[in-house]
Structure 1
Amino acid sequence: MNSDLQYQIALKLVPKIGDIHAKKLIAYCGGVEAIFKETSKNLQKIPQIGNVLIRSLKSAEVMSRAEKEIKFIEKHNIKPLFFLDEDYPQRLKNCDDGPILLYYKGNTDLNTAQVLSIVGTRQASEQGTEICDEIISQFKDTNTLIVSGLAYGIDACSHKSALVNGLNTVGVLGHGLDRIYPAEHRKYAEKMVSQGGLLTEFVSGSKPNRENFPMRNRIVAGMSDATLVVESKARGGSLITAFLAIDYNRDVFAIPGRPKDKNSAGCNMLIKRNVAHLINNANDIK
């Protein structure tokens, strides 16, 4: 068994440690294994390390769960990506809160030359899906990787259109790779494994809980060069992704809409606040 991987998974499983804190611990101790082998007395000297966290690090439970996860990923041909690995999305590595560990099932290069995330409302209009299809079709025969979240609406449209146009597409999930949510999108997910892939930071058994999706959104934004918002209401996950992209110093693009169109309220707001570039077609992004 890969002991390095077991320690990496175990660290990610430690409750409330967080990715920023985990990276600081790795730097302080000189490696992941060193964290678990460090004495409690020395760990107490590290800033912001309390007794509760130390007990979690010394618990046999996280190591046992990590061992179970290794068996799962080996059985299902899933590739773990530690944040120091070459295959880890390098754009995401530059984000302070990027996950220390990802699980990937697919066949594409996550560090390809151009990565574009496309997000939008789950209740996409017919016009919104038409625009999404048209823009993605204009990337045909390019080496552009299309990233989205496999949700209803614009997400599903993005993946489906990328597949039709021969583009690789990656779905970032808010749960483990032992399931597909929503289940109706399994037909896309199965094709994506051989034309892109599925990516998550969550271990098997993790359910698609509501709090997981903002975490998922930071991966969508962070691993991409730019984020395109096709349709968005005044509030929602696509705006969370857009503002994360802005925080990560990425380009954000938005499709304008009619002032009274609820599905365009978010896009219009981004453009009005001068934080997103107004676009009409793919040439405005390329």
Structure 2
Amino acid sequence: MSINKGDIVLVNKTQVSYVLSGTKTLHLVTYDEKSDSMKVYKSVPANSPQISKPPVGSVLMHPKLQARYEQDFKTITKGNYVEFEDSAGSRHQGYVVKGGNKVTVIYDQGEKQCSGPAHLFTLVEAPILEADEPSVMDDWSVSKYKEYKGMSQETIAFTATIYYKGESVFTVRNDGQGGSMELNLHKYDEHHKSLQTAFYKNTIEWAKQFGLRGEPFEVDEDWVHWYANDRPLGITAKAYFKQQNELMAPYRSDDLKKEEGIASEAKKENKNSSKLKP
């Protein structure tokens, strides 16, 4: 009989308990009705004749023991939306960026982050988020996005899988050392090669559609990060590029600044002329 963390066991054939930790030497948690309290038995040999493992589903936990079990072993998967209460008593909804028994959640459009045991968070339905107008990138999607903070030096180190109309077509990665995103086709046939070309072309069109200023530079990687990190928070592509443009404004060339100034003045003139009465 093998006993593992999280298993339900019986002590002396009647006392329902669960394994908090251990495989050979166990820490058991049980509920004592007489004292109306939880009790923890430490360093109990797994091969003790007092310990037995009942068939799955054959015993019922006391509601208080069940609540404690869920507290100790509840997990939440990355990508879910949750609700939680902060230390001030205010409630927030957020997006899970790291799942498991201890989760990390970002909220307030990615401006804030918090971490804690999964039992402190309640799963909620995905909110209705603000959406962009249709674009050529609507048929593309990202899955299995994972960042590697320890490797991220000059750029964000990550891996992800890119899908086109539900078909897994290639993987992308960045080693975090300052280079560009690498793309690896799943199949080296004409179909996948044409999709690679379309992907680069579509991301440029997408960036220009939603407000990119200047020449497109690595917007394919911008799209991956936006899709995986910003879109789930309700940050539209239009809002994303507005922020990017503001960040890059000090570094734009004088020619581009001049062009933007001319365009701005022309816009003002058109607006003023439209107010004139015939």
Same fold (TM over 0.5): no
Q: Could you say which structure has the larger radius of gyration? A: 2
Normalising by structure 1, report the TM-score: 0.23
Q: Which has the higher strand share?
A: 2
The normalised TM-score by structure 2 is 0.23
Larger fraction in helix: 1
